[in-house]
Amino acid sequence: MRAGVGVGPRRVAKPRVGVAAVFLLPALVVLGALVVYPIGFSVYRSLFDASGNGFVGLGNYGAMFSDEAIRTALGNTVVWVVVAPAVSTALGLVFAVLTERVRWGTAFKLVVFMPMAISMLAAGIIFRLVYDQDPQRGVANAVWVAVHDTFAKPAPFPGAKPRPGADLRPSGGGAFSTRSVARAGASVNLPLVAVQPSDVRGARQAVLARPRPGKVTGTAWLDFTRGGGGRPNVIDPGERALAGLTVQAVRGGRVVASAVTGAEGTYVLPAEAAGAQLRLPAANFAAAYNGVDWLGPALVTPAIIGSYVWMWAGFAMVLIAAGLAGVPRELLEAARVDGAGEWQVFRRITVPLLAPVLVVVLVTLMINVLKIFDLVYVIAPGSSLRSANVLALQLFQSSFGTDVDEGLGSAIAVFLLVLVVPVMYVNLRRMRKERRR
């Protein structure tokens, strides 16, 4: 018999470098054209002046940190990087954990994630209206004014003032007082003008108050007859009563009596008002509360960050919910059996197990925030744009704005790249650790 022929080890096919290069070449060309070349050109252009002919070295980088507008943009960018990703991730974590326990959790996730389908431009237009100063248009101020007016009663007749020639004069702080003192059994009439038509809509005809023995009476009314023909300081037919007006009797700087006008504009003060001056306090005429200037220099950046969180909290929630689905339920149930409360389970088990996912969300949002541009550009009005400025917006303004300086714009672009590199390094390092596992 012939001895069996042994089978040697198979030859491993050598990688064909040429074939691999052919397949990689299109991707390398696109990568070089869209990434490598722009980065290299930006670094090169940042070393020249605005014209592109004069070599300035690192001068543009020095100018970048000495310019007040760019320093403001840098400070706002730091606020964005610290606040926006943290708040979005925290809300996403809370939403993901809570919706896991409710029956309509899927519908809630859909509603929260829905803003991701809206472009940044559309979201900016929406929130420009939400933050409008006029409570009749801006939802934020409409809610804020409604809450404020629930606890602080608005002035009944904002902007009203005494009729010229009446026995009333300004007494400081927006209040008005009579020149003469009130006498018991006499009437002191208080004619006013400049009352808004909406404030007397549905008001009754003013009635002349009858004198009462030992008391001070009078009438407050809008001394204005539509179409003209009325007599000053006289209650004419058709002139409206001013109901709800506070009238105070002041003697020696102290309020001794007070009354509020009724539906017909009349008021009655007790005998203590005799010999005192009558005063209409400023609270009767204070301007209507119009809410908060959300897009003013002080609040414009937090307001825009709020719109960003509205958009991206759903993104964080979906990723965290996907990670939460992979958490072993046995660990959670074992902790509950051992007596751990829900807060302890969440803090000591759920969050540590979700740490890799939370890092991914945070890093992604930080990179996204560093290039935020359109929300700031659309939402911030012209008067507050400098206060809301960020580096990406400053890059656009320096490169394509009214004072074009492509050298400075390129320096800002390179600086943004330098800021992104550490975040990308952390992300790549985390991905390598995940692969080793």
**Dist CA 342 CA 76 (whole Å):** 37
Q: What is the mean pLDDT of residues 20-25?
A: 85
- pLDDT over 90 for what percent of the chain? 42
Q: What is the tens place of the pLDDT at every residue in 97-109?
A: 888 877 888 888 8
For residue 178, pLDDT beyond 80: yes
Over the chain, what is the mean pLDDT? 88
139: pLDDT confidence band, cut at 50, 70 and 90?
A: very high
pLDDT of 123 above 80:
yes
Q: Note the pLDDT of residue 14.
A: 55
pLDDT value at residue 390: 93
Any idea what the Cα angle at residue 72 is, between residues 49 and 123, rounded to 5°?
105
Contact 224/232 with Cβ under 8 angstroms?
no
pLDDT at 249 exceeding the cut of 80: yes
Taking the model in full, what pTM does it have?
A: 0.77
What pLDDT was estimated at residue 302? Answer: 95
pLDDT-based confidence at 319, cuts 50/70/90?
very high
Question: Which pLDDT score is estimated for 219?
Answer: 94
pLDDT in tens, 355-394: 889 988 998 999 899 889 889 999 999 888 899 999 999 8
What are 76-120's pLDDT values in tens digits? 999 999 999 999 999 999 999 888 877 888 888 888 989 988 888
pLDDT of residue 437: 65
pLDDT single digits (tens) 278-316: 999 999 998 888 889 999 999 999 999 999 999 999 999
